[in-house]
Amino acid sequence: MEEIKEKKNKQKIVIFIIIAFLIGFIFGRIYSPIEEKETSFVNLIKKIERKEETIDYNLFLDVLETIRTKYIEQQISERNLFYGALKGLVAGLKDPYSIFLEPELAEKFKTELSGFFEGIGAEISSKKERIIIVAPLEGTPAEKAGLKPGDEIYEINGEDTLGMGIDEAVSKIRGKKGTQVKLLIFRKGWDSPKEFVITRDVIRIKTVRYEMKNNKIAYLKISYFNERTVSEFDKAIREILSKKPSGLILDLRNNPGGYLYAAVEIAGAWTGEKVIVFEKLRSGEEKEYWAKREAKLKDLKTIVLVNKGSASGSEILAGALQDYEIAKILGEKTFGKGSVQELTELRDGSIVKLTVARWLTPKKREIEGIGIEPDIKIEMTEKDYDEEKDPQLEKAIELLTK
């Protein structure tokens, strides 16, 4: 009898935990802790009964008990089972942008949004099944160690990178400040690869950089929208305007998005105080997001470069400039991520990233699954990449120098 009572008590505890998390998903905005809410199993059952589908939540407990009693490995991590169930709960939405992040991954996610991480400071990509260095960031351990653009990474800590994915490579290269990573590097012109031992450090991501082309065309690259992007952008614009350029190229290629407010405020440098994007909620209600700044760039002829790697905030920015006919969009159709994700931080530090709305351009154009079509379509071929040519940038410079 005592065993039966104990089993029932365990079941009640698990049910209560599940209910608490389910209720928690409903509340909270970005990084705001969940409010404590009273609930009960009876209330949940009543809610379920009002729906057409009938779900037997005891199945969860049945599966859990089956694993505990029959799985061949005796050392079972209850934590892994629990977080695995929560991941599966969100995965059941079949939405690629809605995910559950355990506390450790949630912390890394927040750190990267703030623009800081620990590693060597090199942007990497994949080419012909090899991981390559796109560019070492200025002043980072990667640059100080002598890594160069185009270097091929043959091994990471003795592990062959042939066929390795970029995410896996990044996870292996990054690490705590003061620790070391060994990279076996091959460079064009070398007879054989060489080993680089690099000490990791705290890396600050600079999201905005610029240079002058032909002494009169400003080239401005935004690689990501984080909490410092607006201030970096404003600093770059002050310097650019002091050089009195005849035109500006805004490069948003391979920019995956980031903070909404950064994309909206940067758009305002061209539009002034106007609606930059609409947020369409599940209720059908539409919320406006306005830029609140002076349009310092409104009279500067601008071309925006985009490709299939331009997503979310990049599409919002490009779509607004296109709708207001302030800039020409050049390149390839963008990714088509026009959904809004809300981040809810749970009591244990984990995060639920959930799609809660859709983005619309100022002219109410859908972005999700459609993307932004360029006014001038120019594709980058595999040959262009291999020969390190950039016909999109070349065309933009040509158009602005006419």
Catalytic residues: 312, 323, 337
36's torsion region: left (phi>0), alpha (psi -120 to 50) or beta? beta
- Who contacts 262 (Cβ-Cβ below 8 Å, separation ≥6)? 225, 226, 227, 229, 230, 233, 313
d(CA 100, CA 91): 8
Q: Strand, helix or coil at 291?
A: coil
Q: Partners of 125 in the beta sheet?
A: 132
Cβ neighbours for 38, distance < 8 A, ≥ 6 positions apart: none
Residues 6+ apart with CB under 8 A from 381: none
**How far apart (Å, rounded) are the C-alpha atoms in residues 281 and 369?**
17
CA-to-CA distance for 242 and 106, rounded, in angstroms? 41
Q: H-type helices in 146-284, by residue range? A: 166-173, 229-242, 260-271
Which string of DSSP letters, residue by residue, matches 99-165? EEE-HHHHHHHHHHHHTEEEE--EEEEEETTEEEEEEEPTTSHHHHHT--TT-EEEEETTEE-TT--
Q: Residue 103 in contact with residue 86, Cβ under 8 Å? A: no
CB atoms within 10 A of CB 308: 16
